[in-house]
Amino acid sequence: MAAKILHSSYWTTILRTDSVRTYAVRRPISIASLFIPTVALLTAVASIVTPLGLYEELGTGDKEVGNFSYIRDTSAYFYGTSPRGRYSFSRICFIYNIPGPCPFKNDTLIYEHTTLGEDWDYPNNLTTDVPPILRKVYSSGTDGIGTTVSNFFDIEWRQLTKKVDKSGLLNHGRPFAVNLFRQLDSLVLEDSVRLVEGLVVDTISGGIGFRNHTVPQPPDRNVTWEEDLLFIEPTTSCVDTNLTLDFDSSANSSSDLGNFRLTDQGGFVHLAHEVPNYNNDNPQTNPDLWGRAYKAAVLNNLASMVYLNVTNSQDNSTGTKLFRYVDSVLGKSFRVSVDRDTDYNAASFSREYGRYLFGSELGSYPNPFNVTRGEWFEPICMLFY
C-alpha cells in the first residue's frame, strides 16, 4: 500500500505546480505570458477587419510648375547634329530656272530680250538671307510665352555646311548656310516611339514630332506633364513601274555585280498610250498622290522606251505620233549602264528618274531620238510640287 500512496502524491504535485504558475515566478515572465493571448486575439480581429494586410501606396500630388532643363541625347543623332546659331536662314529663288530676287528683298534683276537673245543682269548681286518680316509672319503664331508648338523656323536641317558661290552672284561671294544630307541611322524597321535629338519619332502609327528635349528637374522624379507638339504624319502612295533591274552576282563576292539589264515586266508592253493626268483642283485638300505617282511612272517608262528605241518619239513636224511601234514583250531584257558606286544589293531611294540609263559605263544603245536626262526625266519631279 505504501507504494501506491507515493505514486498518487507524485501526480498531485505536478498538477498543483501547473495551477499556481504565478507563484514564485518573476513578474516580467508573468506579464509576457499574459500578453501572448492578447496578441493572438488582436491578430484574429485584424485578419477579419483588414484581410489584405497593410501596404504602401503612391499617390499623385498637386500640380505645380516645374523647372525644365535640357537633356542631351546620347545617340548618333546628337553627335550628327550641326551646332545651332552660327548661321542665319538662307534661300535662293528662281525665275524660269534662273536665279532671281526673292520676295521682300531689295535685290534687282534686269532682264532684256533682243533679237540677239536674252540678257540677265544683277546690279547688286543677290542676297540669300531671309528677311525679318518673313520670320515674323511665319513665327507669330507660336511666339507666346510657354508655347511648345514648333513653327516653320523651328524646323531645320540636322546637318549644315557652308557654300560659296564662286561667281559672286549669291550673297556677294560670302559663305552662306546650306543643307547637308548624311544618313545617321534607320528607323524604318522599328515599332516603337523613340526620342532622338529634337524629334519624337512614332514608328507605330507613323509620325514625327518636333520637340526640344527638356524634362522637369530633378530628372530622377517620376512626373507627368502635358504639352502640344507639331506632328508631321506623312502620307505616301506608290505605283509600280513594272520594270525590274536585274543583275548577276559573283559567287566569290556579293558586291561583285555585273550583267545589268532592265527587264520588261509589263511596264513597256502594257504601258498606257495616253499620258494620264491627276486631280489638281485643290491640292491642299486633295493632293491626289496616287494620280501624281501614276503619271510619273508612265512618263518615266515612256522616256525609257524612247531612249531604248522600244518605241518612237512624237514628231509634230512630220505628224508622227507616239507608239507607232512597240518592240518589246513580257520578260524581254535590255542591257543598261549603271553607276558602279551604287549598292544595288540594298534598298535605296532616289529622285533621279531614268537613273539606270545614265550610268558610268558607256551605253550600248544609239539613242536615235536624243533622249536626255534634263529634257525628258528631270521635269517629272515637278509633278510633286
The residue with greater pLDDT, 381 or 365, is: 381
Residue among 359, 351, 353 nearest 375 (CA): 353
**Whose grid coordinates read 551605253?**
363
In sequence order, what are the residues at sequence separation of 6 or more whose Cβ sits closer than 8 angstroms to the Cβ of residue 343?
Answer: 255
User: How many structural domains does the chain have?
Assistant: 3
**Is 136 part of a structural domain of the chain?**
yes
**Is 190 part of a structural domain of the chain?**
no
**Is 58 part of a structural domain of the chain?**
no
Between 16-20, 99-103, 123-127, the lowest mean confidence (pLDDT) is in 16-20
**Is 328 part of a structural domain of the chain?**
yes
C-alpha dihedral (126, 132, 134, 139), degrees to nearest 10: 150
For residue 52, name the pLDDT band (cuts at 50, 70, 90): low
Rounded distance between C-alpha atoms, residue 68 and residue 80, angstroms: 24
Based on the fold, state whether residues 266 and 361 are members of the same structural domain. Answer: yes
**Is 353 part of a structural domain of the chain?**
yes
Phi/psi at 300 (5° precision): -65, -45
Give the tens place of pLDDT for each residue, 238-264. Answer: 899 999 988 887 766 556 777 888 999
Based on the fold, state whether residues 279 and 374 are members of the same structural domain. Answer: yes
Task: List the beta bridge partners of residue 257.
Answer: 249
Task: Please determine, for residue 143, whether its predicted confidence score (pLDDT) is greater than 90.
Answer: no
Q: Which secondary-structure segment (H or E) carries 303?
A: helix 289-307
Based on the fold, state whether residues 37 and 125 are members of the same structural domain. Answer: no
Is residue 193 a contact partner of residue 178, using CB atoms and an 8 Å limit?
Answer: no
Q: Which secondary-structure segment (H or E) carries 9?
A: helix 2-19
For residue 351, name the pLDDT band (cuts at 50, 70, 90): confident
Give the tens place of pLDDT for each residue, 9-38. Answer: 444 444 444 445 555 667 777 777 777 777
Q: pTM above the 0.95 mark?
A: no
In sequence order, what are the residues at sequence separation of 6 or more whose Cβ sits closer than 8 angstroms to the Cβ of residue 191?
Answer: 203, 204
Residue 331 falls in which region: left (phi positive, over 0), alpha (psi -120 to 50) or beta = left
How high is the mean pLDDT of the chain?
81
Task: Please determine, for residue 364, whether its predicted confidence score (pLDDT) is greater than 70.
Answer: no
Rounded distance between C-alpha atoms, residue 126 and residue 109, angstroms: 9
| Domain limits for position 286 | 243-384
pLDDT of residue 301: 96
Based on the fold, state whether residues 248 and 292 are members of the same structural domain. Answer: yes
Show the cell assigned to 350. 532616289
**Is 367 part of a structural domain of the chain?**
yes
Based on the fold, state whether residues 353 and 262 are members of the same structural domain. Answer: yes
Residue among 335, 322, 314 nearest 271 (CA): 322
Rounded distance between C-alpha atoms, residue 159 and residue 371, angstroms: 36
Residue among 303, 261, 295, 265 nearest 277 (CA): 295
Task: Please determine, for residue 3, whether its predicted confidence score (pLDDT) is greater than 50.
Answer: no
**Is 237 part of a structural domain of the chain?**
no
pLDDT of residue 16: 47
Residue among 136, 128, 74 nearest 99 (CA): 128
Based on the fold, state whether residues 251 and 362 are members of the same structural domain. Answer: yes
200 alpha-carbon distance from chain centroid: 9
Based on the fold, state whether residues 161 and 249 are members of the same structural domain. Answer: no
